[in-house]
Structure 1
């Protein structure tokens, strides 16, 4: 009987240890809603402005918990393609890769609903600029502040449902012949839903 009780206790401790491991991986579907703002384009009409398309992308996020309340999250995806418009007319595309590192505070770790907030830095690199048949391009990099709020909802075992919203500062000058012709403020809001697994 003692052996059975000890086995049950050790099993419970083992399950608790698994639940308290520091790694959490999430997979999300994220809708990028761009701010769609720019300065007037040099050489064009005063009302002619650039706009960047919104889109939905896959996202993988890796979190490490330093304590029950404090975690760091690395946001990853693959290069994303966006259409660019001038006064509503397509002028080309570009790709961007936007890894983001956030520090998070979790309010109710271990609870059924665990809301959190975060803040950190977004670094975006632009590539494959095909604007105005190659006559225009974007600056190579953008670095800006990122903020976040979300909630993890426990499902079963180590699985959870995740709802998340982020706001990022993402901007770039537009160059024509190496000279600044405009500035684009993408500044997206990212609305995400997905699942997480605590290792």
Structure 2
């Protein structure tokens, strides 16, 4: 009886201590705090300001992602997040400061490879496809004071994404996650002021760093 009780308790303890392992058919849900840091490169603002470029500010936001394990090692991840960014003038436009602000919605589907899905520490890499939608674009008061009432439109973008991350076991079905992505985002901004249309091409290409918690279902 004592031996049977010991075996039962030991089995229960091991079950509680077991890592939040992932295997074919499992869902992982993660919530992260993310930093979106553009590594932008822009053209001049043509035709009015051909020698002046723009920069895009960093943004912090919450993010939720869902991963489905197609096999023990391969998973499909979809992220859901939206961030707001300011576009500022450089060169001769730097004194104007903020030119435009916009919201960005970048759903990204990634195929991940998990190196050790049943370990305590589970690194992974991913390659994905991104679609970015820009919405609620708005010219700043400073810009409109300088050149007049302006309508702003940013083209949506298709591109690739690269990912590396790690899940670290905390408790049964619960883990810590650290994740880094590079997302290829290119857009053309169209600024219409009366009969004048200015355009600027911007490669935003952000690095997205996230830290959060995840659960296995």
What is the TM-score normalised by the length of structure 2?
A: 0.79
Q: Give the match for residue 215 of structure 2.
A: 197
Is the CA contact (8 Å cut-off) linking 1:29 and 1:59 kept in structure 2?
yes
Query: Residues 1-199 of structure 1: matches in 2 within 5 Å?
Result: 19-20=21-22, 22-77=26-81, 79-87=82-90, 88=94, 89-131=97-139, 132-133=143-144, 135-177=150-192, 179=197, 181-199=199-217
Structure 2: 5+ residue runs without aligned partners?
Answer: none
Q: Report the CA distance shift for 1:35/1:42 in structure 2 as closer, same or farther (over 3 A).
A: same
Structure 1: 5+ residue runs without aligned partners?
Answer: none
1:1-32 Cα shifts (integer Å, max 9, x gaps): 6x989988x979x988x955611000011101
Is the CA contact (8 Å cut-off) linking 2:75 and 2:113 kept in structure 1?
yes
Is the CA contact (8 Å cut-off) linking 1:39 and 1:183 kept in structure 2?
yes
**1:145 and 1:106 mapped to 2: Cα distance?**
19
What is the TM-score normalised by the length of structure 1?
A: 0.86
Q: Report the CA distance shift for 1:37/1:138 in structure 2 as closer, same or farther (over 3 A).
A: farther
- Paired positions, count: 197
RMSD: 2.7
**1:32 and 1:94 mapped to 2: Cα distance?**
14
Is the CA contact (8 Å cut-off) linking 1:138 and 1:172 kept in structure 2?
no
- Larger of the two Rg values belongs to structure: 2
Give how far 1:179 is off.
Answer: 4.7
- 23-32 vs 172-181, which deviates more? 172-181
1:167-195 Cα shifts (integer Å, max 9, x gaps): 00111101133956110111100011111
